[in-house]
Amino acid sequence: MKGFFYWAGRALVFFILVLVGTEILLNVLKSPSLQFYRDQKLLHRYNPVYYVDLALNKDIFIRHFAGKWEGRFRTNSLGMRGLEEPDSTKPQLACLGDSLVMGFGVSDEDTFCHQLNGIELKGGARQTLNLAVDAYGSLGALRRLQDMAPKLKNLKEVLFFVSGNDFTLPEELRAKGMLSDDEIDEIRSRDPNFNRNFRIQFELSRASYTFQALKLAFEQLKVQYGFTMFRLKSEWNSTGFSSASTVEQTPVKYMKDSFFRTPETKCDPNPQETFKKKNVIEAPNPEIMSKEEYKKSFVRNRFQIIFPVRKKNLIRIL
């Protein structure tokens, strides 16, 4: 028994050292792909009602790891996108939605909600306030509005954008195990343990590079697993042995298509003509081609620009 505790203690110490070493290494290396997701995590915070919202008084610059976009993300004291605080003396217009409305991928001043600030509507110029948070469905947006509306004392209108994937998805994606945002929110609301478990993983991955990397790896594995199962299911259906197989999907057809299918012939019957059409023409050789022949064959219809003569540009075709 003493030996068991000895080896268990050594294993625990080794595990802790590996975690600490990995954390230090990831903090030093700052991989662009991991840093991209890390910055996104720091921009958000846990919310007990709708799980995630924007952190308060945040100022962070996020750059896509592949260089597709970059932008500065700032939030005010209420966790809204942009620095401007609500002004109760002005009539207010709220923008509500997901990442499109929040302006994911652009800086604060480039979001369309910011561009609408000061728009003249009946009752005067509006102060626009961006309530949107990325990865919300319509149910999450409703909860967000119910939470934030009492804090806006002069709210007149709400500009709400609903995305198609909030409540529906194509059947092809459903077959791969994907669900709409509203369906996911409904499933989460029925699970009494989800809120607690979500908070634990969210706070751990927000505090640690290592847990963030492990979470990303796990999510990627889930996606790969879903696609693999979809392909296996499709292959099994095509054999004709599955109850979901169609009338056209039979074992004979599967064997024929898999092992006895003859490829279609789409080649040009004249191999010499095919070579001339498909292959690069022979490079010019001074021994077999004169200067005049080279110009005629390789510089035809090219333009040569002559420097200005008498304040006019002359263009000559060779």
Reported as a single tens digit per residue, the pLDDT across 88-126 is: 999 999 999 999 999 999 999 999 999 999 999 988 999
CA distances from 168 to 96, 134, 179, 181 (A): 19, 18, 8, 8
Q: What is the pLDDT of residues 175-222, one digit of tens each?
A: 767 788 888 888 888 888 999 999 999 999 999 999 999 999 998 898
**What does the pLDDT read at residue 89?**
94
pLDDT at 285: 57
Structural domain spans, the chain: 8-207, 235-259, 284-317
Model confidence, pTM: 0.70
Residue 223: CB partners within 8 Å, gap ≥ 6? none
- The confidence score (pLDDT) of residue 302 equals 43
According to the model, what pLDDT value does residue 140 have? 87
Please report the pLDDT score of residue 5 as a whole number: 79
Report residue 250 CA to chain centroid gap: 39
| Tens of pLDDT, residue by residue, the chain (318 residues) | 667 878 888 888 888 899 889 989 988 888 888 999 999 999 999 999 889 999 999 999 999 988 889 999 999 999 999 999 999 999 999 999 999 999 999 999 999 999 999 999 988 999 999 999 987 888 889 999 999 999 999 999 999 988 877 777 787 777 767 788 888 888 888 888 999 999 999 999 999 999 999 999 998 898 888 889 888 988 999 999 888 888 889 898 888 888 876 666 666 566 666 555 555 555 555 556 666 665 566 554 444 444 444 444 443 333
